[in-house]
A and B are shown apart, each in its own frame.
Chain A
Amino acid sequence: MAEPQRARPKPTPETQHFWDGTKAGELRLQRCDACAHVYFPPRPFCPSCASRKVSVFKASGKGFLYSYVINHRPAAPGFTPPYAIAVVELEEGPRMMSNIIDCPQTPEALELDMKLEVAFQELDDKITLPVFRPAKG
């Protein structure tokens, strides 16, 4: 019996560029060509001004820890508790859910507002997940 797997994202036509990006080691966001709004999750129009003229760009991968829980139970398949489920605020503005790696999963180590940088975790040959680690320096 295989170990229970963590949930695997299944890209749609609107999100494929994001998952192509993580596979290539890039965190990709979208910016509205009309009003310059930067947004996430992906969609082919601006949720601020409704323009369909939007561009994909490579984000800096820098951000800070906005909030989190440390999940003890019940644990999701493929996860060993306790593990933090975090929300990261990116330098460009949008926030995304993620996990924090290379860091003890404790309230003492996980300080709100700590600086983070993106890392990439390959789940299989199709999906690479963006995760975050404490920023160096």
Chain B
Amino acid sequence: MRKNQVAVVGAAETTELGVIPNASQLQLHADAALNAIADAGLKLSDIDGFATAVETPQQVCHYLGIKPTWVDGTSVGGCSFMLHVRHAAAAIEAGLCKTVLITHAESGKSMIGKAPRSIPADSLQGQFEAPYGVYGPPSMFPIPVLRFMKTYGITHEQLASVAVVQREWAAKNPRAMMKDPITVADVLNSRMIAYPFRLLQCCLVTDGGGALILTSADRAKDFPRKPVYIMGTGESVETPMVSQMETFNSSRAFKVAGPLAFKEAGIAHKDVDHLMIYDAFAHLPLFGLGDLGFMPYEETGQFIADGNTRPGAKLPLNTNGGGLSYMHSGMYGMYALQESVRQMRGIAPAQVPNAKISVCHGVGGMFAASGTIVFTNER
């Protein structure tokens, strides 16, 4: 795909984030969509392309009254929205549609109008993982981390520092769920969830949503907001079974998606002003820094523990507070994208001064899928 041909011209989260007991999941989709439409200065009838995950496109399009000529229901977990951005950019470039709306919403905490996740007993996961006591992401996602730690000499304190640094970012963000400062000792003394991970190393469980609107870069200059261009994109999947990853020393999906996006954007790591790495759990930023090629895996833990990703430091990472402290409805990728767009617009609560290139890297399932988007505010 050619870079900077498509831009984000509308971006918004749901009016509220956190615990939203007065709205169904479907209504949260609509709330986010209407906020993004207003942000872009558009009408619903201007939307001719639509993408969402978990909920079907027909469900959300009917609820909103949208008549699309292009839809994408790619649903590969929390990074689905990175894949939607990539697919939408290709569709707009190919002339299949002009203005794409991407929505995410999840009643992850209140569970209103949300089907519970279940694993069929005759699926491969149901036969070869579920019988061993896996029960939700906290029991599965951290399974690779002890091997990763042993291979690269990563310490428990370094993994705790991920949560500490992100809380520093969250403290600057009025919409973050958790804002009180924490220490490495606080993290290591918090309640054990799934050894080696404790409560403060696991993501929040919240309600919320977000929506993006994309159009061609040529049209984007006529919109009220500063356009944020799609500079590079990548995607991949590996396996829905965490036990069947090729290795626990890296994520194959990360290693495909990340470099594809960097190559398409034509950027080097030193060009990255702002970075989001989907942090459902504290080890993901370490995998991301290594798999995206920012540094050898051995250095990732110390890099974060040394404060290199905290406010004012050289590589601002997860500047909204991340899934650990900002919010995490279950599929966090949309919120990472929203923060990248805010940073590129120059309106983030913890704005990185003069940031021109933002890399937004997502994960789906337990390292099952990945999507990476490189944004820029310069064409």
Residues of A within 8 A of B (CB): 6-12, 15, 19, 40-41, 66-79, 82-83, 85-87, 95-99, 107, 112, 123, 129
Contact = CB atoms under 8 A, between A and B. Distances in A.
B144 A97 contact: no
A75 to B, nearest CB: 7
Contacts of A77: 135
A97 B129 contact: yes
Contact of B194 (A12, A71, A112): A71
A122 to B, nearest CB: 12
B194 A69 contact: yes
B133 A10 contact: no
B150 A9 contact: no
| Candidate in B119, B126, B128, B133 with the most chain A CB atoms within 10 angstroms | B133
Contacts of A8: 121, 131
A68 B143 contact: yes
B143 A69 contact: yes
A11 B127 contact: yes
Contact of A74 (B135, B140, B243): B135
Contacts of B305: none
Nearest to A99: B132
B97 interface: no
A72 B128 contact: no
Contacts of A70: 192, 194-195
B133 A67 contact: no
Contact of A72 (B126, B147, B193): B193
Interface residues of B, number: 38
A98 B130 CA distance: 10
Given A67-B144, A68-B143, A99-B132, A87 B243 contact: yes
B116 interface: no
Given A79-B133, A87-B243, A107-B195, A12 B122 contact: yes
A115 to B, nearest CB: 16
Contacts of A85: 132-134, 139-140, 143, 194
Contacts of B133: 6, 71, 75-76, 78-79, 83, 85, 99
Contact of A95 (B131, B134, B193, B244): B244
A69 B188 CA distance: 16
| Candidate in A69, A77, A78, A112 with the most chain B CB atoms within 10 angstroms | A69
A95 B132 CA distance: 14
